[in-house]
Chain A
């Protein structure tokens, strides 16, 4: 099955920029997803990348390199409310059903 790797925890300062990395197995790639999950709440969809390059959505951007099996989520102008877990998810082996990574807990401090 798929093996998603992302850092366990990151900290950043309000107003700064942070990049959360994710690596995955490239075999049978069918797109990569990012979700945001606040403590005790349901995950919410942030982005989907299937082609190489950067996709921008307001303060959040997501990048994909298919040849390297690498993605990152870029958060700009950090706000306290961005403190959450960020989940990377991707299918493998030609499946469309994604495997979720363990999530990166982002702590934003003043």
Chain B
């Protein structure tokens, strides 16, 4: 089944404790992206990757890191999480950044709480 797999689905952590949210896709997509979603603010892009070893900042990159060592994987790293990073996170992939014909495929989401 074509899918984007994110783990974990839920995570509660403490301020300053490094964490990684994994994202893997099995569709041979070149483009991958991370979003956070907060009430009233919609989906905001954190980082994106056009291909292996090519990453770039989105609209809200502060406090996050990413890597793209393999085409299928695009982990999101929070080196020192803070409470303002409490959010719902989505990984997405597509054949190209322009999305057509089927748009982005999103992972199921990771609900992160930083206390």
Contact = CB atoms under 8 A, between A and B. Distances in A.
A31 interface: yes
B97 A102 contact: no
A30 B98 contact: yes
Contacts of A35: 103-104
Interface residues of A, number: 26
B108 A41 contact: yes
A98 B99 CA distance: 9
A101 B37 CA distance: 11
Interface in A2-44: 30-31, 33, 35, 40-44
Interface string B15-49: 00000000000000000010100001111110010
A48 B45 contact: no
Nearest to A103: B42
Given A35-B103, A48-B101, A43 B90 contact: yes
A97 B31 CA distance: 10
A18 B26 CA distance: 36
A70 to B, nearest CB: 19
A1 B59 contact: yes
Given A1-B59, A101-B42, A44 B106 contact: yes
Chain A residues touching B, majority SS? loop
B106 to A, nearest CB: 4
Contacts of B81: none
Nearest to A95: B97
A45 B90 contact: no
Given A1-B59, A101-B42, A43 B100 contact: no
Interface of B: 33, 35, 40-45, 48, 59, 90, 96-109
Given A30-B98, A48-B101, 18 more contacts: A1-B59, A33-B99, A41-B108, A42-B106, A44-B106, A45-B103, A45-B105, A87-B42, A91-B98, A95-B97, A97-B33, A97-B45, A100-B42, A100-B43, A101-B42, A102-B40, A102-B41, A102-B42
